[in-house]
């Protein structure tokens, strides 16, 4: 299972839930999240659900998930949106700016008919 870092941050847990649902293509329930986050305050979990609901509204028609009652339901799979998935991974575990530039440069080097040595 994808490790859950920073269980004290609403945003980090919300990012992780997004990644979990699209990577595994599985719905995740509020009770499952409560057991994974191991918090006693349900208000914290409610805040995470509110964060995800707000994100879903901001994403609009391209939202990668829906909030349906006490569940987060995936609408996409990670391999259909690799860029979005990469952004979630970077958001959860962080990335140094230089490392991000290196990743981007390596991707561009593999792009057909492009000869790039530096950005």
How far is it, in rounded angstroms, from Cα 57 to Cα 42? 23
Where do the H-state alpha helices sit in the chain? Answer: 10-24, 30-37, 42-59, 82-93, 97-109
Does residue 118 sit within a domain? no
Does residue 90 sit within a domain? yes
Residue 75 makes CB contacts below 8 A (sequence gap 6+) with: 63, 64, 65, 66
pLDDT at residue number 37: 82
Does residue 58 sit within a domain? yes
Does residue 94 sit within a domain? yes
Whether residue 84 has pLDDT greater than 50: yes
Does residue 42 sit within a domain? yes
Nearest one of 96, 102, 58, 99 to 14, comparing CA atoms: 58
Whether residue 22 has pLDDT greater than 60: yes
* Domain total in the chain: 1
Model confidence at 72, pLDDT cuts 50, 70, 90, reads: very high
Whether residue 50 has pLDDT greater than 70: yes
Residue 19 makes CB contacts below 8 A (sequence gap 6+) with: 2, 78, 85, 88, 89, 92
Whether residue 65 has pLDDT greater than 90: yes
Does residue 115 sit within a domain? no
Does residue 49 sit within a domain? yes
Does residue 85 sit within a domain? yes
Nearest one of 68, 69, 67, 65 to 24, comparing CA atoms: 65
Whether residue 39 has pLDDT greater than 90: no
The residue range of the domain holding 91 is 10-109
């Amino acid at each position: 299972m994808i490790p859950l870092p920073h269980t004290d941050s609403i945003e980090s847990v919300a990012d992780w839930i997004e990644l979990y649902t699209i990577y595994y293509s599985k719905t995740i329930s509020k009770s499952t999240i409560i057991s994974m986050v191991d918090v006693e305050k349900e208000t914290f979990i409610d805040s995470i659900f509110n964060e995800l609901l707000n994100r879903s509204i901001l994403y609009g028609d391209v939202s990668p998930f829906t909030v349906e009652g006490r569940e987060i339901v995936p609408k996409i799979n990670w391999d259909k949106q690799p860029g979005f998935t990469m952004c979630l991974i970077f958001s959860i575990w962080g990335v140094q700016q230089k490392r991000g530039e290196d990743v981007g440069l390596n991707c561009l080097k593999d792009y057909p008919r492009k000869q790039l040595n530096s950005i």
